[in-house]
Amino acid sequence: MRTSILSLVGAGVFAATSTIAAQELKGTGTVVLHAARVIDGTGAAPIANGVVVVTEDKIVAVGKQGAVTIPAGARVIELGDATLLPGFIDAHTHIIGRELSDPQANDSPVRDYDGVPAIIGVANAQKTLLAGFTTIRNVGAPNFDDMSLRTAVSEGFVIGPRMQNAGHAIGITGGHCDENGYKPGLMDGDPRIGVADGPEQIRAAVRYQAKYGADVIKMCATGGVLSEGDAVGVQQYTFEEMKALVDEATKLDRKVAAHAHGVEGIKTAVRAGVASIEHGSFLDDEAAKMMVQHGTFLVPTLSAGEAAERAANAGILKGLRAQKAHAAATAMRNGVKIAVRDGVPIALGTDAGVGAHGTNGHEFVLMVDWGGMTPMQSIVAGTMNGAKLLGWDARIGSLTAGKLADVVAVPGDPLRDIHVMEKPSFVMKNGYVYKSQTAAPPLP
């Protein structure tokens, strides 16, 4: 008999069950989570001595202990001096394949068998979920491997976050979204794998990604750090090309995420109507004000800036790529401050894959340390704002009755020490507990 999803036994230990996988695990019965405080993800003040009541896979009540009716027979999980929060959302990941620090990463497109990136993605997905990230947006993967992983998670064969996927990212020949740096003929692309020039090819590329399961369309508006031979901030698509891409995606009911470091590329992408600017390293006041006017989100990916900078210092990135890493990381520290000051809507995204999977919570820290956000602002960016960007705010993003029971607990109070967001002690997704440390004694 086939083995299904790994199910939790004890504190963070998994063992195989013998049930044939048919769907992702969900909670059963009614569970009451009790902790020293609840932060609901909306920006509202914390609830002291709070409880979250979950029945099967839905939240049914949130409030202060004593003010919420506890159903008879409910199981109570005491979490002690901890903070209950909504499941975290990472709006920019590359969960498929090797990390930048892997010595085999550079040659993997021409050396790894086709199945290797997806198999590695299974391990990455588990690390991400156990880090408290119950939902991710994966913005680019080879061979539609992100669709394979999404299916494996949703059918209960492996554990991982809920996924919104892009398929292949779309960009110009030789640009950041192209596998470049190889000899001619080795990695030539076409619209099916996202290499598209001119409005007609771009429309075909969008349609192809949507046909094979893309929930969101990823576009490269400018150069990037890790690509070969292009300048990090230079605009790559024209306005007409970006507008064709956005119009086609809109017809197909998809939002567009635009990789954009340079300021002219940012402004052009905003005018074209993208939902989000990814990275936004060289953002200036004019671009930030445009984003506010258009309601365009910034996904700053500060973790990627830090990881690329460290990779350059360690000699993992060399030459032009190292220069670009230093330039982008330096600019990010300023650009995100401008966005916060001007009121640009911000959603958390890590670009995990550049940095290590499972360390996604470090982005909360960087949004405070680099961006000057308050701890509460960073929490909202990684919960409710992420849900709004994904268009899933009716289902996830806050601890609200009727929403899916994605609940995370962190030790202590993240408003006093944002670093605790890096080490969740409890993770529930769809009402099912995937991570739980030894239950704490009841609060007084």
Three-class SS state of 173? coil
Q: Is 121 within 8 Å of 442 (Cβ atoms)?
A: no
pLDDT > 90: what percent of the chain?
Answer: 78
pLDDT tens per residue across span 408-425: 999 999 999 999 999 999
- Collect all residues with Cβ–Cβ distance below 8 Å to 10 and sequence separation of at least 6: none
pLDDT beyond 50 at 245: yes
Q: Is 91 within 8 Å of 137 (Cβ atoms)?
A: yes
- Collect all residues with Cβ–Cβ distance below 8 Å to 181 and sequence separation of at least 6: 227, 228, 229
Question: What band does 428 get if pLDDT is binned at 50, 70 and 90?
Answer: very high
Per-residue pLDDT averaged across 177-194, rounded? 79
pLDDT > 70: what percent of the chain?
Answer: 93
- State the CATH architecture for 88-390: Alpha-Beta Barrel (3.20)
Q: What is the mean pLDDT of the chain?
A: 91
The pLDDT, as a whole number, for residue 107 is 73
Query: In 174-318, which ranges are continuous DSSP H helix?
Result: 198-211, 239-251, 263-272, 285-294, 302-313
Q: Are strands 426-429 and 407-411 parallel, antiparallel or unpaired?
A: antiparallel
The pLDDT, as a whole number, for residue 441 is 52
Rg (CA), the chain: 21
pLDDT tens per residue across span 168-183: 999 999 888 887 777 7
The pLDDT, as a whole number, for residue 88 is 98
pLDDT tens per residue across span 383-408: 999 999 999 999 999 999 999 999 99
Structure tokens at 142: 């080879």
pLDDT beyond 80 at 337: yes
Phi, psi of 204, deg, nearest 5: -65, -40
The pLDDT, as a whole number, for residue 16 is 36
Claim: this prediction has a pTM higher than 0.85 = yes
DSSP state of 295: T
State the Cα–Cα distance between residues 119 and 128, nearest whole angstrom: 15
Q: Is 336 within 8 Å of 347 (Cβ atoms)?
A: no
The pLDDT, as a whole number, for residue 103 is 76
Question: What band does 7 get if pLDDT is binned at 50, 70 and 90?
Answer: very low
Q: Is 47 within 8 Å of 64 (Cβ atoms)?
A: yes
Among 2.30.40.10, 2.60.120.620, 3.40.50.2020, 2.60.40.10, name the CATH number for the domain at 6-87+397-436: 2.30.40.10
Q: How far does CA 40 lie from the centroid of its chain? A: 19
Dihedral sign for Cα atoms in the order 432, 85, 158, 147: positive
The pLDDT, as a whole number, for residue 105 is 67
Q: Which of 101-105, 277-281, 354-358, 391-395 has the lowest mean pLDDT?
A: 101-105
Question: What band does 444 get if pLDDT is binned at 50, 70 and 90?
Answer: very low
State the Cα–Cα distance between residues 410 and 435, nearest whole angstrom: 12
State the Cα–Cα distance between residues 347 and 302, nearest whole angstrom: 12
Same fold? 6-87+397-436, 88-390: no
The pLDDT, as a whole number, for residue 18 is 39
User: Could you give the dihedral angle defined by the CA atoms of residues 181, 276, 261 and 299, in that order, rounded to the nearest 10 degrees?
Assistant: -100
CA angle 286, 292, 298 (to 5 degrees): 90
- What ranges do the domains of the chain cover? 6-87+397-436, 88-390
The pLDDT, as a whole number, for residue 30 is 96
Q: Which of 40-54, 96-110, 348-362 has the lowest mean pLDDT?
A: 96-110
pLDDT beyond 50 at 295: yes
**CA distances, 325 to each of 104, 121, 136, 140, 306 (Å):** 20, 25, 24, 20, 9
pLDDT tens per residue across span 10-62: 333 333 333 556 688 999 999 999 999 999 999 999 999 999 999 999 999 99
Question: What band does 6 get if pLDDT is binned at 50, 70 and 90?
Answer: very low
Q: Is 302 within 8 Å of 366 (Cβ atoms)?
A: yes
Q: Are strands 432-436 and 255-260 parallel, antiparallel or unpaired?
A: unpaired
Dihedral sign for Cα atoms in the order 380, 363, 162, 53: negative
pLDDT tens per residue across span 366-382: 999 999 999 999 999 99
Question: What band does 442 get if pLDDT is binned at 50, 70 and 90?
Answer: low
pLDDT beyond 90 at 262: yes
Pick the residue with more confidence: 185 or 310? 310
